[in-house]
Structure 1
């Protein structure tokens, strides 16, 4: 029997990368998944692939920086399904020009709005229903820089991803008595389109040694399938061949932390 059978999962940033992999893994485990994001074509592709594999999936176009729209999306899921058991807050971004010198006020605001405010909007939207049912799992996708800041991440990415770690722990502090639990996942480098935003993307032979989106999908499923009395507070996960640990001569491109 699938542990997540008859449950409902909402994945923000579900049109690609880690979010899409998490949606597929949760659907395989029996959950009905709702993937949201800004690009209808990508959401439909993910939801369609899940349905073709025998799972249950829906798509909802959403910009997580729009708090009212986030609340409407959560309300629509609750109206249609009566519950949201798992929230995966996976929407995130970084910018090609990310240093203090290059990062303007608008760029900083965009990083905070998507990476931090977007997660908070989704969490606040699901908490009332989770509290009422006295059960619920929140999974927040941070980054390796959530634990170990690196220069190449840039101040905006480093700061917002570390803030997500504090947000997750704060959620556990306040809501554990209501039966709710949160896990923050901090991935090292993952082979996704996100890496193309770097000034020097890893070459193909190095991409092949990084984490895969499906590795994070399995991680998300592991957290969601834990019994309700178990809280996995955080997970720091990286490739075995971790470029953040290797000397510069071991890599032809700068190591960097993006995982979304």
Structure 2
């Protein structure tokens, strides 16, 4: 297969829908062999079909079920991918969650732990699992899907999500500090509001009209493709992208409470 990423293998967590699936489609179009992971096996299989319908060449996208909150399972899946396909050149940490009851006076310790474990620890565990192979080859790209909420703080997302996404930016920076000398690179991708299924977990789901003015999944797919296809000597340390109509700038605390 020809393309800028021909011969490369990409692993995308949270790949069953939203930003992860859009990224998978773009990377497959660019020639990569792509593995998508997520908790719902049936949803993943539907995503593989959707990827093909949206232009991913036949056989370039496959799926394996994984809950990134399960550290042992992360290690098993990473090992399986690398055994089957020989390598992981591109890791996209897109798995992420939030809870409806998210404000300080609402969130429980259990929910706080769940959000930070998936969003932050899961990304770290996946990165640890592919890092030795990347270092051995002297090349690799990690894209951590952080959030505008981890770059510009607001009342919208709650302390667990905000803290986990801000920490992903720090995780990315530390990766580059330690691994740039080995030929590896990482990007903290910080999108503003994107019309993806995670909006259903908002206290009040935005209207269709509001979603239409947000970033769309394909916008982030193309962004992931852009980052991954840059020459290997180029590192975008952080990329902040938002809709022109940015409600986070204008809504204040009241916007955060109502969705």
What is the CA deviation profile of residues 43-91 of structure 1, one whole-angstrom value per residue up to 9, with x for unaligned ones? 1112123345424011000010111111111111111111111000000
- Correspondence list, 1:83-232, <5 A: 83-232=87-236
Q: State the secondary structure of the residue aligned to 2:236.
A: coil
Instruction: Return 5+ residue gaps in structure 1 as ranges.
Output: none
CA contact (8 A) 2:157 2:256 kept: no
Q: What is the CA–CA distance in structure 1 between the aligned matches of 2:32 and 2:251, rounded to whole Å?
A: 43
Q: Deviation of residue 245 (structure 1)? A: 2.2
Cα deviations across residues 121-147 of structure 1 (Å, max 9, x unaligned)? 100000000000010000000111111
For structure 1, which segment, 53-62 or 229-238, has the greater mean C-alpha deviation from structure 2 after superposition? 53-62
- SS, match of residue 245 in structure 1: helix
Mapped to 2, the partners of 1:176 and 1:132 lie a distance apart of 13
TM-score by length of 1: 0.94
Task: Could you tell me which runs of 5 or more consecutive residues in structure 2 were left unpaired when the two chains were aligned.
Answer: none
* Separation of aligned partners in 1, 2:92 and 2:48: 16
TM-score normalised by L of structure 2: 0.94
Aligned length: 253
Instruction: Give the superposition deviation at 1:107.
Output: 0.8
Tell me, in whole angstroms, the C-alpha distance in 2 between the residues paired with 1:17 and 1:23. 10
Does the 8 Å contact 2:9/2:88 carry over to 1? Answer: yes
Please give the secondary structure, in 1, of the residue aligned with 2:78. helix
Matches of 2:8 and 2:50 in 1, distance apart?
19
